[in-house]
Chains A and B, each alone.
Chain A
Amino acid sequence: MWDIGAAFQLAMRLIAGGDGALWEIVALSLEVSLISAILACLVGLPAGALVAIQPFPGRRAVVIALNTLLALPSVVVGLVVYLLLSRAGPFGSWGILFTPTAIVIAQTILVLPIVIALARQFVEDGWQEYRELFLSLGVSLARAVRTLLWDLRYSLLTVVLAAFGRAASEVGAVMIVGGNIDGVTRVMTTAIALETSKGDLPLALALGMVLLLFVLALNAAAFALREWSAKRHG
């Protein structure tokens, strides 16, 4: 038998004692999520900026499509990536299904629409303010995108943090394409799901607390960053 109190105590002991299995899982989680967040931002920030400032035919449709992607069920993303990477799939020969790379791919696809949508919103606000100045100075589109991304860097850093947090807390897609293999593709979320179903609550709880603290720290950092940049730049 178990109770929450005992599980909690054991969880604290695991965290404090530097349990090897626990930290290996945490490290892998952070690694794949960070890589996914960075990849998604490399593509998503410029893409969001372009959608924000460049009128083109079908822009409205693109915005609607992006907003739809925001609500994309993650297991569907997992399934699609699985089909693409599986032996019979078009990229089957790469042999990367059930590897951390597969997890990175799934997470990147998941957070990309979030990055684009948030970047679009921030850049659109900045563009409202800068538009006439840019037109007056004769700023090219490429430079306008660069300038806006740079000037809004603190706001956009919060987008990076949001992407990182979202990637780290993903379960379904990661389970499907990673396979939750011990020591290879087991991350915090999939480990929690597994340990809970096995009844090993202390490890699940310890991982849950680490994940919670991590997301809390990210949000606090994002908040502090916004405050600081508002004070600095007015």
Chain B
Amino acid sequence: MADRRVFPIEAKLVAVRFGSVTALSAVDLELHGTRRVAILGANGAGKSVLLRTLHGLLQPTEGTITWGGSPARPLDQALVFQRPVMLRRSARGNVEYGLAVRGVPPIERGIRALEAIERVGLLNLMDRQARVLSGGEQQRLALARAWATRPRVLFLDEPTASLDPAAGSEVERVMTEIHAAGTALVFSTHVLGLARRLADDIVFLHQGRIAERTPASQFFSHPQTAEAVHFLRGELPWNGISHRPSTA
């Protein structure tokens, strides 16, 4: 599958503008394999835009993105959207579609789809129409669709934001498993608990710029910038109760 190298993913002086609105500016970032990176920041800080740019969905207005030294976007990477996009077919059909796009032969498609669906715990629903599944089930199906293609890196845009706690922790479990199987994770979130539990590294965005990029343990205990301190303080009362100690 690894037809081209994905890592390092390198952003050099990247800016993304939509008309007169600057979503990202002066972003320098280098990502290496197998780490779990959380992109943190308030609403409108540019988390989703950064994620989409790193994935290759958005072209930088300025600066460059390279994957393994090449500006050509590699295919063995995937993105799971905040609101999953389900094709009008069965759950299994959705996973197989992702594999068909990659040119996986039909028989292998079926096997790999089943495997991925099993891992996200949706075997009993695999023949249902994907679009009538619940939000949490759709999110897990999106994870299965991404995972089945065996990406080197999986981007996730606010993976648990629109889910109830039970569905959220199920998604977290799947994310942990995907990482354990050797896929790097890059996810945006404004939920500190998720970042504490799952992230090795934190990229903290403030108003479209990277304000801080540190190991997770350091970010939560000794934030370097006033913005990060402010962000942590502002968020903690809401999420602090459920926090488990960071294992990172």
Produce 1/0 per residue, B83-97, CB < 8 A to A: 001011100000001
Tell me the minimal C-beta distance from B247 to chain A in angstroms.
30
Contact between B85 and A133, CB atoms less than 8 A apart? yes
> Nearest B residue to A135 by beta-carbon distance?
B57
- A118–B55 Cα distance when bound, in Å, is 34
B231 within 8 A of A: no
Chain B residue with Cβ nearest A153: B88
**A132-B88 in contact (CB<8A):** no
CB-CB < 8 A to B102: which residues of A?
138
Give A34 to B141 CA distance when docked, in angstroms: 41
How many B residues have CB within 8 A of the partner chain?
18
Q: Is A125 an interface residue (CB 8 A)?
A: no
**CB-CB contacts of A146-182 with B at 8 A, as 1s and 0s?**
0100011000000000000000000000000000000
**Which of B4-12, B74-82, B198-206, B209-217 has 4 or more CB atoms under 8 Å from chain A?**
B74-82
CB pair B81–A133 under 8 Å, yes or no, is yes
B78 touches A136 (CB 8 A): yes
Cβ-neighbour of A129 out of B57, B85, B101 (below 8 A): B85
Given the known A-B contacts A132-B81, A233-B88, are A137 and B129 also in contact in the complex, defined by CB atoms under 8 Å?
no
In residues 99-151 of chain A, which contact B (Cβ within 8 Å)?
129-130, 132-133, 135-139, 143, 147, 151
B81, A143: Cβ atoms closer than 8 Å: no
In the complex, the number of residue pairs spanning A and B with C-beta atoms less than 8 Å apart equals 39
Shortest distance from the beta carbon of B191 to any chain A beta carbon, whole Å: 22
With A136-B79, A151-B87 given, is the CB distance from A233 to B101 under 8 Å? Answer: no
Take A137-B101, A138-B75, A234-B131 as given contacts and tell me if A132 and B87 are in contact as well, using a CB distance cutoff of 8 Å: no
B132: Cβ under 8 A from any A Cβ:
yes
Q: Does any Cβ of B come within 8 Å of A232's Cβ? A: yes
B193 lies within 8 A of chain A by Cβ:
no
Most buried by B among A143, A152, A232, A234: A234
Q: Which residues of A contact B136 (CB under 8 A)?
A: none
Judged by a CB distance under 8 angstroms, whether B98 is at the interface is yes
Chain A residues, CB < 8 A from B98: 137
**Which residues of chain A are near B55, meaning CB under 8 Å?**
136
Closest to A144 in B: B101
Q: Once the chains bind, are B85 and A130 in contact (CB under 8 Å)?
A: yes
Q: A147-B87, A151-B87, A233-B131 are in contact. Are A138 and B81 (CB under 8 A)?
A: no
With A136-B57, A234-B132: A151-B81 Cβ-Cβ less than 8 Å: no
Query: In the bound complex, what is the Cα–Cα distance between A50 and B146 (angstroms)?
Result: 27
Interface residues of A (CB under 8 A from B): 129-130, 132-133, 135-139, 143, 147, 151-152, 232-234
Given contacts A133-B85, A137-B78, 19 further A-B contacts (CB under 8 A): A129-B85, A132-B57, A132-B85, A133-B81, A135-B57, A136-B55, A137-B101, A138-B75, A138-B102, A139-B101, A143-B101, A147-B87, A147-B97, A151-B89, A233-B88, A233-B131, A233-B132, A234-B129, A234-B131
Q: Which 9 A-B pairs have the closest CB atoms?
A: A234-B131, A133-B85, A151-B88, A233-B88, A136-B79, A234-B132, A137-B101, A138-B75, A233-B131
